[in-house]
């Protein structure tokens, strides 16, 4: 189903994504993209019609990739709720260490242009995930304190993602280099599940 991209198209998309992530949509020029991907400027429009279309494609694929990976963990049939939380932290922290600019980029562009998200594969899948169901079962059984599911999932994501978005501040506050900062995030792979479980335990 997925469109097959030629080498040139991939070069353009790769360069464009890296620039969009770093500088945002508006601050990135088509000439920069052409230069970085080592193609002629006109090819950008030849293959992708316009800067905006190219951006939309990259945005969609990026979000789609991310959501797919996320839902995969959320919906695993074999794992317990607490394992799911652990796996979520591990997976998403690793993913974000690999692409630390992504969360701020996505949320910022989403702010600038909320409609570009409407086409997205239903984000509602998260609320209907096994993770949420398992938590609610736990509540019924009296194991967990009752928290609205929307708050529950928001809390997990907040603790995982926000520190990355604050990295410039945290690194300045604690005089960290990138490696030290990443270590701090690695620590959180073990801590966040503990914190979350404390939060939901009665």
6 is a site residue for DNA (CB under 7 A): yes
- Within its chain, how far is the Cα of 137 from the centroid? 27
Q: How far apart are CA 22 and CA 179, in angstroms?
A: 19
H helices of the chain, in order, are 7-27, 30-37, 41-48, 51-74, 81-98, 102-112, 130-140, 149-165, 167-173, 178-200
Residue 102 binds: one of a copy of itself, DNA, none (C-beta under 5 to 8 A by kind): none
Measured distance CA(54)–CA(36) in Å, rounded: 15
Q: Which stretch binds DNA (CB under 7 A): 50-58, 96-104, 124-132, 147-155?
A: 50-58
Chosen from a copy of itself, DNA, none, partner binding at 195 (C-beta under 5 to 8 Å by type): a copy of itself
Least CB distance to DNA at residue 100 (A): 24
Q: What are phi and psi of 118, to 5 degrees?
A: -60, -30
Q: Which residues contact 119 (CB under 8 A, 6 or more apart)?
A: 60
Q: Which does 24 bind (CB under 5 to 8 A by kind): DNA, a copy of itself, none?
A: a copy of itself
Rank residues 48 and 103 by Cβ distance to a copy of itself and give the closer one. Answer: 103
Q: Does 182 bind DNA (CB under 7 A)?
A: no
Which of a copy of itself, DNA, none lies near 58, with the C-beta cut-off 5 to 8 A by kind? none
Residues constituting the chain: 202
Contact between 51 and DNA by CB under 7 A: the answer reads yes
Give the residue with the Cβ less far from DNA, 8 or 104: 8
Helix (H, G, I), strand (E, B) or coil at 144: strand
Among 10, 22, 50, 191, binds DNA (CB under 7 A): 50
Residue 16 binds to DNA (criterion: CB under 7 A): no
3-state secondary structure of 40: coil
**Segment 118-147, which members bind DNA (CB under 7 A)?**
none
């Amino acid at each position: 189903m997925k469109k097959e991209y030629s080498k040139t198209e991939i070069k353009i998309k790769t360069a464009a994504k890296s620039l969009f992530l770093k500088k945002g949509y508006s601050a990135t020029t088509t000439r920069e993209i052409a230069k970085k991907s080592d193609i002629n400027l006109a090819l950008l429009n030849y293959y992708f019609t316009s800067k905006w279309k190219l951006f939309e494609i990259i945005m969609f694929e990026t979000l789609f990739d991310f959501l797919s990976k996320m839902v995969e963990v959320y919906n695993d049939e074999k794992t317990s709720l607490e394992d799911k939380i652990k796996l979520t932290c591990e997976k998403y922290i690793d993913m974000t260490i690999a692409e630390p600019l992504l969360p701020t980029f996505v949320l910022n562009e989403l702010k600038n242009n909320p409609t570009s998200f409407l086409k997205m594969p239903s984000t509602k899948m998260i609320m209907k995930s096994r993770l949420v169901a398992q938590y609610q079962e736990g509540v019924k059984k009296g194991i967990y304190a009752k928290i609205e599911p929307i708050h529950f999932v928001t809390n997990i994501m907040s603790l995982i993602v926000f520190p990355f978005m604050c990295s410039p501040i945290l690194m300045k506050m604690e005089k960290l280099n990138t490696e030290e900062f990443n270590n701090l995030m690695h620590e959180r792979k073990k801590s966040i599940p503990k914190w979350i479980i404390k939060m939901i335990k009665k």
